[in-house]
């Protein structure tokens, strides 16, 4: 099928070592370029047409680099959909932890330069909350990843292939959705209109794609434990979306809570499918 071939070709290109090196170079170059442009703005060396667009605080360069990194991680998230539901959710938690770290740096943008305690004090608690939430999600994600016991949802290899094919088709639709969301946000920025969070918008779409995958999986497996686990993982995505909309410290609490929920669900699922002990002995 054409969608599968297209998805596989994109994934091979994305996972190639040359692409990884190019992405790393892009991130470094973007960060340094942002620092340079901001410094030129501070010195008044930019044309007047750009002065209303370019900030004067250097921490905006950190925010810019983190945003670019997160967009690239979202692409990896889309590719992970074809592997397993748990891999996809794990990638979602990776992105959430990075978003919380970015929010920590985001607080520095509001401080003057050089940074003084008086300017930092009011925003310190939200920054500590975001950083602590990122750490909790990171720790819980490690436990979540180690707890995984990857099992195909069906013993029929042809049905398993059909399921993977369906997930790859959904992944291509997510690519289109990401491009549309980013395009609309960029148009608003250029037009001087209020922008929105690309990641919050994408996670909203991701909720519906997760529900669609759960329903598609029901065609190949009616096992209660599988259906419950996959549905529960979708609930975790909903909690992540709420975390992206909530202010500190609720965003950190919701993020860590969603990771803890996914970890507990995984252990319960593994226990549920564990073969019973032989009688006697």
- The pTM (predicted TM-score) of the whole model is 0.91
Tell me the percentage of the chain whose pLDDT exceeds 70: 97
Asked if 237 contacts 203 with a C-beta cutoff of 8 angstroms, the reply is yes
Domain ranges of the chain: 2-273
Q: Is 147 helix (H, G, I), strand (E, B) or coil?
A: coil
Average pLDDT, rounded, for the chain: 91
Asked if 259 contacts 144 with a C-beta cutoff of 8 angstroms, the reply is yes
- Six-digit token string for 264: 């507990």
The residue with greater pLDDT, 275 or 9, is 9
The residue with greater pLDDT, 137 or 225, is 137
Asked if 210 contacts 201 with a C-beta cutoff of 8 angstroms, the reply is no
Tell me the percentage of the chain whose pLDDT exceeds 90: 69
- The span from the first CA to the last CA of the chain, in angstroms, equals 53
State the average pLDDT over residues 174-189.
94
Phi, psi dihedral angles at 236 (to 5 degrees): -60, -40
Torsion of CA 77, 82, 85, 87, to 10 degrees: -50
Confidence of residue 278 (pLDDT cuts 50, 70, 90): low
- What pLDDT score does 281 carry? 40
- What pLDDT score does 276 carry? 54
DSSP 144-197: HHHT-----S-S-HHHHHHHHHHHHHHHHHHHHHHHHHHHHHHHHHHTTPPP--
The residue with greater pLDDT, 211 or 278, is 211
Instruction: List pLDDT tens digits, range 190-210.
Output: 887 888 889 999 999 999 999
Confidence of residue 266 (pLDDT cuts 50, 70, 90): very high
Q: Which of 131, 132, 135, 73 is nearest to 102 (CA)?
A: 131
DSSP 76-128: HHHHHTTT-HHHHHHHHHHHHHHHHHHHHHHHHTTS-SS--HHHHHTTHHHHH
State the average pLDDT over residues 167-195.
92
Instruction: List pLDDT tens digits, range 71-127.
Output: 999 999 999 998 899 999 999 999 999 999 999 988 777 776 777 777 778 788 999
């Amino acid at each position: 099928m054409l969608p599968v071939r297209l998805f596989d070709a994109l994934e091979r290109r994305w996972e190639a070592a040359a692409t990884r090196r190019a992405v790393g170079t892009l991130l470094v170059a973007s960060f340094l370029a942002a620092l340079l442009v901001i410094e030129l703005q501070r010195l008044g060396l930019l044309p007047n047409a750009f002065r209303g667009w370019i900030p004067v605080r250097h921490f905006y360069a950190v925010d810019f680099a983190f945003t670019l990194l997160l967009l690239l991680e979202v692409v990896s998230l889309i590719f992970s959909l074809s592997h397993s539901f748990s891999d996809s959710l794990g990638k979602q938690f990776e992105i959430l932890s990075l978003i919380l770290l970015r929010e920590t740096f985001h607080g520095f943008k509001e401080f003057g330069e050089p940074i003084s305690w008086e300017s930092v004090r009011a925003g310190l608690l939200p920054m500590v909350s975001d950083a602590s939430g990122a750490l909790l999600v990171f720790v819980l994600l490690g436990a979540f990843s180690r707890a995984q016991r990857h099992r195909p949802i069906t013993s029929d290899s042809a049905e398993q292939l059909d399921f993977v094919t369906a997930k790859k088709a959904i992944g291509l639709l997510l690519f289109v959705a990401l491009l549309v969301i980013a395009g609309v946000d960029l148009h608003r920025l250029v037009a001087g209109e209020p922008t929105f969070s690309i990641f919050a918008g994408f996670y909203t779409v991701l909720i519906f794609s997760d529900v669609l995958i759960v329903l598609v999986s029901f065609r190949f497996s009616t096992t209660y434990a599988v259906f419950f686990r996959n549905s529960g993982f979708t609930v975790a995505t909903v909690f992540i979306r709420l975390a992206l909309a909530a202010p500190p410290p609720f965003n950190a609490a919701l993020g860590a809570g969603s990771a803890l929920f996914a970890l507990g669900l995984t252990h319960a699922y593994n226990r549920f499918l564990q073969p019973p002990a032989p009688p006697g002995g």
